[in-house]
Amino acid sequence: MTEAAEISHLKLLAKRHARASRVALHEALNFIAIHLGFSNWTQLVTANKSGWVPSPEQVVSIEAMVACHVSPADFKTGSADASTRRWEYLEQAEQSQIRGHAYRLQLGLDDVIIAGDGWSITVPENPSARATVRTSAEADDQSPVFDPDFLEEALSLANHRMAQVRGKISTDWPRRSTKPDGKGRSRHPLWDRDSDTWFCLHCNGKITGDQIAQNLWHCPACGASPVDIFDTAFWCEDEGKSLPPIGAKAKSDTRKPEFHVVDDRPKLELNERNIVLLMRSALLDDATSISERLGALLAEITVDEDND
Ligand SMILES: [Zn+2]
């Protein structure tokens, strides 16, 4: 490749990266320059004029980074080597072990779920929603998710996977959907409408163009999905003019996961119908002749209020 071709290839990668990670193009250019050992893009271009070109390995590592859509924050401090190791780690992440506990990492309708024996962690697609940790009632005490180091590692794996999912979503959407213009107008990814104010059909929240773009078109107040977000509150008489902005409601601590104990053991609920069924099958079990079996099938069984 000629020098000019190398630079235009890096520019193309920067554009992809800007789109996927929802940052301005100049930030993406600087990010690539820093990754290649320069302090910013201008310095890289100057070096290129005096004959510097990235090595094929460097280009491959930038391509890998952009393909995986990871937020620049993860790489600002990391060396190229650390980044490569991290990619290898992520590649194997679908099924592996954390501190001796086996897990599976998978996608479910754009939520990321990491799960092992008796535990699971869900990181929702909605950026303002908290992760949920579920443990089964049976294994509750011994579950590895109660070890803070284990939990942190598992969460970080799931969060990295989620960064890729969100990067993919942003790339599929129009650029304006994740990067509002100078007037704060953003484009709805599904309706193809531009506005600086949006309304949530679910909670009547009035949301700015920046807020909704940042939250990937999920309502920052109630978590409603993009299909419930509109540029006019057509369900209000004044089309939403009197609705209050969501403001501080949107600010919640999303870093700490929520814990739930789930009793997933099969249970027999002792209601009248089930008791009658149990009694009848016991009678059938005991029946030794056809007439006793008929008797068991036809017997009238009544259950009183105390389930006797
Ligand atoms: Zn809402």
The pLDDT tens digits for 101-118 are 989 888 877 789 998 888
CA of 156 to the centre of ligand 1 (A): 27
**C-alpha of 302 from chain center:** 51
Q: What is the mean pLDDT of the chain?
A: 83
Would you state the pLDDT for residue 77?
Answer: 44
Residue 218: per-residue pLDDT: 92
Ligand 1 centroid to Cα of residue 182, in Å, is 25
| Ligand 1 midpoint to CA 218 (Å) | 8
pLDDT tens digits along 157-186: 999 889 888 888 888 888 999 999 989 999
Contact (CB, 8 A) for 188 and 231: yes
- State residue 289's pLDDT score: 86
Ramachandran bin of 240, using left for φ above 0, alpha for ψ from -120 to 50, beta for the remaining angles: left
pLDDT, position 72:
44
**Which residues are found with C-beta within 5 Å of the ion, ligand 1?**
200, 202-203, 205, 219, 221-222, 224
Burial of 239 (0-12, 13-18, 19+ CB in 10 A): middle
Q: Among 1, 161, 207, which residue's Cα sits nearest to residue 69?
A: 161
* Centre of ligand 1 from the C-alpha of residue 225, in Å: 9
Percent of the chain at pLDDT above 90? 24
Distance 244 CA to ligand 1 centre (A): 12
pLDDT on residue 3 = 59
How many Å lie between the centroid of ligand 1 and the Cα of residue 161? 26
The rounded Å distance from CA 194 to ligand 1 centre is: 19
Residues above pLDDT 70, as percent of the chain: 86
Residue of 5 and 92 predicted with greater confidence: 5
pLDDT bin (cut points 50, 70, 90) of residue 269 is confident
Among the residue ranges 13-22, 29-38, 46-55, 190-199, the one predicted with the least confidence is 13-22
104 φ/ψ angles, rounded to the nearest 5 degrees: -125, 140
pLDDT at 87: 59
**108 alpha carbon – ligand 1 mean position (Å):** 22
Sign of CA dihedral 162, 186, 16, 109: positive
* Better-predicted residue by pLDDT, 17 or 120: 120
**Can you give the pLDDT at residue 74?**
45
pLDDT at 305: 80
In the predicted model, is pLDDT for residue 43 greater than 60?
yes
pLDDT band at 92 (very low <50, low <70, confident <90, very high): low
Q: How far apart are CA 65 and CA 28, in angstroms?
A: 12
